[in-house]
A and B are shown apart, each in its own frame.
Chain A
Amino acid sequence: MKVLVPVKRVVDYNVKVRVKSDGTGVDIANVKMSMNPFDEIAIEEAVRLKEAGTATEVIAVSAGLAGCQETLRTAMAIGADRGILIETDAELQPLAVAKLLKALVDKEQPKLVVLGKQAIDDDANQTGQMLAALLGWPQATFASKVMIAGDKATVTREVDGGLETLEMSLPAIITTDLRLNEPRYATLPNIMKAKKKPLDTVTPDALGVDVAPRLKTLKVAEPAKRQAGVKVADVADLIAKLKNEAKVI
């Protein structure tokens, strides 16, 4: 069974981004880029499926600028067998990415696609579900536990009220939540090995996909900053302030 894992190159989660002074976007020049943390969890899960003998091949896919090759090499250092870069300098929105991935799924015929539940840059939380819809496949989003047995997937999902478990036939889409696994660190020998793994490049045109954005960003701004308040001396002071000043208790 082939498993496809899309990975997104995003601003590292430790970086506090700045809005450009003209309000047209976020300044991401010269900031540290990393693999979206949820996608790292997705790669890890796929690699574990391979190590367990369930998956035969793990293919990492990324869409965007040439720099995404680095993200694919990271995925291969964790254990993906090969990488595919859909190279474009166009702005990619989730629907376009879902269409690009559908074109690759049609070509590669994986039984399972594992994606991060959301990217920490646009916080959209859409691509996996959209891909499932375009393919007509079942989906299990926000997974905290995945079991594959034969042609069936049993997935525990993190939902607002707690947990729920779904069963579905493959092929299927799974999106990862934080507690599905703890991704391993790529070791130096594996990083070296990853450099020799195959990495193919295709373009949206070659896949026959129109990636034109549907949403236009008119402006970006920083939200109103919350002012730091005061330090209170002790519990009595705190209760007095909450009662008399803030009037919330």
Chain B
Amino acid sequence: MAILVIAEHDNASLQPATLNAVSAAVKIGGDIHVLVAGSGCGAAAEAAAKVAGVAKVKVADAAHYADQTAENIAALVIANAAGYSHVIAPATTGGKNFMPRVAALLDVAQISDIVGVESADTFVRPIYAGNVLATVQSADAVKVITVRTTAFEAAAEGGSAAVETVAAAADSGQTKLVGRELTKSARPELTAAKIIVSGGRGVGNSENYHALLEPLADKLGAALGASRAAVDAGFVPNDYQVGQTGKIVAPQLYVAVGISGAIQHLAGMKDSKVIVAINKDPEAPIFQVADYGLVADLFEVVPQLTAAL
């Protein structure tokens, strides 16, 4: 049995999500190969070769993989899928974008966002915003799987896999990237952060969000997150959103400030190790999942907290 893991990377390095996907592959068991598709992605391929548990790295280096368009990545995966029992990618916006294309072209189901491996054909995945866990068994010859990264430890370094070049597939030319506005931040990446400070509607506006939460995040070395309400209201960009349809996070410490705790938000953070909630409404649902709740006016206590740390 051999497993093909599709790497997420920025050409220069592997994104940590790839390491979680490799761990899921290790749980399934078998020879693990990693496919790195990119443009000038030699360094990412070398990094993949050093991941413990990886037996082989396949690299397709071509200009038309620079933008990771779903059409081109899916075609490449299909061209390299023969002989694999499982094709795996992290359930990032990248993996979510191209993997269903792969599954449909192979005429198999996709098993989305798995949080557990029961056996080579049986997996656990959350449904209904994580309020229910379903154990599903696939009858297909190839299992196409996306992995919820927070549910699997990152694979360690320590491998020395062979790196092999594979031919690029034809450029579909169907989509063209015309612009990218990536949020620039010196803070840790949200899904990889050990501590997250997250703000909700209660913060009031964008100025307050930045004035109150940034100093706190700076003191804690934390990433910044937000509820859907805060993103919809324009306090922060979309990539801050934690929740059912945003980012799924599981840090050591999650500090929820002015977040009421709708089930859609809880779906994105309830696997955090320690949850702190600061909210002036003692009835807010966030307190039902918080390890430490502080019922108080956030405008008073957040500066106090920042000053005291």
Interface residues of A (CB under 8 A from B): 11, 13, 16-17, 19, 26, 38, 93-95, 98, 117-118, 120-134, 137-142, 144, 154, 156-169, 177-179, 213-223, 226, 228-232, 234-236, 238-239, 241-242, 246, 248-249
Contacts and interface: CB of A to CB of B under 8 A. Distances in A.
Contacts of B191: 160
Q: Which 5 A-B pairs have the closest CB atoms?
A: A129-B100, A229-B291, A214-B109, A130-B104, A138-B174
Given A141-B70, A217-B135, A130 B292 contact: no
Given A139-B101, A162-B181, A129 B291 contact: no
B110 A163 contact: no
B44 to A, nearest CB: 16
Contacts of B270: 226
Contacts of A179: 231-232, 238
Interface in B227-252: 228, 231-232, 237-239, 244-245, 247, 252
Contacts of B135: 217-221
Contacts of A231: 282, 287, 292-295
Q: Is the interface of B mostly helix, strand, loop or mixed?
A: mixed
Contacts of A121: 127-128
Contact of A178 (B177, B228, B273): B228
Given A160-B92, A220-B135, A221-B135, 9 more contacts: A94-B100, A129-B101, A130-B101, A144-B238, A164-B179, A165-B180, A228-B287, A238-B276, A239-B308
A129 B126 contact: no
Contacts of B244: 120, 123
Given A162-B239, A218-B122, A123 B101 contact: no
B112 interface: yes
Contact of A154 (B93, B178, B296): B178
A230 B245 contact: no
Nearest to A160: B93
Nearest to B191: A160
